[in-house]
Structure 1
Amino acid sequence: MINLKIDPEFQSQIPPLTDDEFKQLEENILKEGKLLSPLIVWNNTLVDGHNRYTILQKHPEIYFSTMPLRFENREEAIAWICQNQLGRRNLSPEQKRYLLGKQYEAEKKAAKIFRGNQYTLAKKSGGAHDDNHHSGKKTCDRIAEENGVSRASVLRASHYTRGIDIADNLSPGIKQKVFSGEVKFTNEEMSKLVQASVEHRSDVLAQILHPEALEVLESASAEFEPEKAEPVPMPTPQTEEFRCYHVPDEFMKVYKSLSRATEMMKNSWKKTLKNNPSYFTDPEKQKVLRFAMQRPANYLTEIETYLEKALAEALEGEKTA
């Protein structure tokens, strides 16, 4: 039994087996007593066959062989893994879309690395590289043809893949939830995440994952019109019910001024929270939000306390007089 290196990035490109699929694979290998297909390796690093290698570690008596492949760099290895996995029949649409985009992105990076080397493809083969495969077709067109999709589908898959990787970096484990169908993202949502600035990506992801939070915010921030000429009904709390108090004209100036201040605060909070929706869903960020909410709430409570005290003093003064 040889010890092969496991590269987490290589392994993460391979869609995981379900428990039943893994169990069935293990039973088949034990029945055969050997691996029918060799493990693919690159410089003693496992490239393909991670599930089978896990089973081998449990059953070292099983005979197996390895097949070394040569890659110029790790991006070429990733592209090969994706291309190999795309040949599987049991991929979900999300897995296929991700692998399609990952292969394209990996081959583009491999091409850039290769062009940056001292020896160019032109010197090695007599032809120009320029993002072309040795067949002469552009990478995007070739991958599209190999998988029976359009060129536009490959480009959309590229944005989708980059978005999934960003989402998984922000929220580890989310890629597997996408592959299992527990979470679904559209191409448009992933493009929005890719195009967002680095500092805003967590909020964009929160907005995508929890759109209901924004709906609540929009509902709570309905338009207010303090400029109406007619008196505006103001609910006043009573014992168990509310009655309407109409602001007299001579009080309207003060009422409008305070109403504008309230509206300015609402709009400011609405804008800030709309741009930072993760403060609704992240427990640590919620603490900051709640702390910020305490200040205006405490101030209004202080005014309410002062009003009650001032009114009580005024009534006491009238009795004394």
Structure 2
Amino acid sequence: MMNLNALKIDPEFQGKIPPLNAEEEHILEQNMIQERRLLNPLIIWNGYILDGHSRYRILKHHPEIAFEVKEIQLPDRYAALAWICQNQLGRRNLDPERRKFLMGKTYENEKLSVGGSTHREHDESGKFTSCRQNVHMRSTEKRTCERIANKNGVSSKFVQRAEKYAKGVDAAEAAVPGAMEEILTGHIKATDAEITALAQTPKEEIPAIIKELRKPKKDRKAKKPTSPEKSDVAADDAPDSNEVHTEDEIEPVSNSPPDFKRSIQGHKRCLTDEDRKRLRQSIDNRHHKMTVANGSIMMCEVQGAKEDFIRRWNLVFKDYPDVFEDNDCRSAILYLIDDTSAYLQTIKERVL
């Protein structure tokens, strides 16, 4: 068994992992003490912990707990960062903002990794051909983007926007330490465009912007309209009016316990004609008294909701059977079960 003192913590690596709150860490500690062993190994690279920072911290206080270490091979530091981000994306208790940030950092670091870089091409005389390399690089980046998108069930455009969003979050953290967690947990409620713009903002101006974004939206200073000439939206990023956006492309839905839930910041940037028609109909319906559903219609709705709930949970547990072996996930599942049971009990009391 490897000596715990031989393991190292990299602040940048640790910063990509959502920290546990006091209650969650206490539950994890109690589970580890009860089991007297670590169910999942600590994942390391070159001696640095990639997954298991909270477990490592607890192990330092409880040397009697048995543990294992699994070392993985990666080409460089960027690949290690990409691995951490993608590993966190596999978890289900992520806020939408954090999921978007991690996806952007995965894409950014995979492009920077030696393992994912392109080889320079040369002509017959041995001279470096920059044009051919640029074409090759764009092709490689496109494949990388598509692979990350497919793995996470979103579109390539979402991944590209996520990278820009992540750079804005990084800029905020560099100027105002602690701003990253405020943004990723929804304490700072801002649009994607507001966060993305921070990457192009002088560092000395960011603290004032963050201070403004901390205010409720109704108390913020009105923005001056941006002229078309000064718009920082590139032509290739402009939305296609005929494009139909999927739900995952717009914003993933969090399956987190209530403690982790935050208001979703994403929104559709472009509506199709069909979207506008449905939206107009929805608004019109708000001004008319809705017809009371009869018993059969109501029970169909209730039964359908119940069956959908069971189907989705079964699907998750089938695709991710290891979720029952992870202490963090088990604690989150128990929390969700208790919260759902409490809600169903209130309905039962109304029925009785």
Could you state the TM-score of these two structures normalised by the residue count of structure 2? Answer: 0.53
Structure 2: unaligned runs, 5 residues or longer: 121-134, 225-352
Quote the RMSD (CA, aligned, Å): 2.9
Q: Would the alpha carbon gap of residues 106 and 131 (structure 1) be closer, same or farther in structure 2, given more than 3 Å must change?
A: farther
1:195–1:112 CA distance, 2 compared to 1 (3 A): farther
- Paired position in structure 2 for 1:30: 33
The answer to whether the Cα contact below 8 Å between 2:189 and 2:214 also exists between their aligned partners in 1 is: no
Question: Quick one: which of 85, 88, 108 aligns to 1:105?
Answer: 108
> Who is 1:150 aligned against?
155
Question: Shift of residue 208 of structure 1?
Answer: 4.1
Matched, 1:175 2:180: yes
Give yes or no for contact 1:189–1:208 (8 Å, CA) kept in 2.
no
Aligned equivalent of 2:127: none
Q: Distance in 1 between matches of 2:39 and 2:213?
A: 44
Query: Displacement, 1:174?
Result: 1.4
Q: How many positions carry a matched residue from both structures?
A: 206
Mapped partners of 2:116, 2:151: distance in 1: 24
How far residue 202 of structure 1 moved from its aligned partner, in angstroms, is 4.2
1:312 alignment counterpart: none
Cα distance, 1:214 vs structure 2: 3.6
The letter of the residue matching 1:145 is N
115 and 198 in structure 1: CA distance in 2 versus 1, 3 angstrom threshold: farther
Q: 1:89 aligns with which of 88, 92, 105?
A: 92
1:2 aligned residue = 4
Of structures 1 and 2, the one with the larger relative CO (CA 8 A, separation 6+) is 2
Distance 1:22 1:206 in 2: 30
* Displacement over 3 Å in runs of 4+: 111-117, 128-133, 197-215
Residues 1:176 and 1:213: Cα distance change in structure 2 (over 3 Å): closer
Structure ranking higher in strand proportion: 1
Selected match of 1:69 from 56, 69, 72: 72
How much does 1:206 deviate? 4.5
Q: Distance in 2 between matches of 1:162 and 1:188?
A: 12
CA contact (8 A) 2:187 2:214 kept: no
Cα separation, 1, equivalents of 2:138 and 2:110? 8
| Cα 1:75/1:129, change in 2 over 3 Å | farther
Matches within 5 A, 1:302-313: none
Q: Which residue of 2 aligns with 1:13?
A: 16
Identical aligned residues as a percent: 43
Equivalence for 1:275 = none
In 2, the alpha carbon distance for the partners of 1:132 and 1:72 equals: 21
Query: Which runs of 5 or more residues in structure 1 are unaligned?
Result: 118-127, 219-321
Q: Deviations over 1:281-321 (max 9, x none)?
A: xxxxxxxxxxxxxxxxxxxxxxxxxxxxxxxxxxxxxxxxx
SS of 2:63's equivalent? coil
Counterparts in 2 of 1:191 and 1:112: CA distance versus 1, 3 Å: farther
Which residue type is aligned with residue 149 of structure 1?
V
Q: What is the aligned partner in structure 1 of residue 54 from structure 2?
A: 51
Aligned in 2, Cα 1:179/1:204: closer, same or farther, shift over 3 Å? closer
The amino acid across from 2:18 in the alignment is P
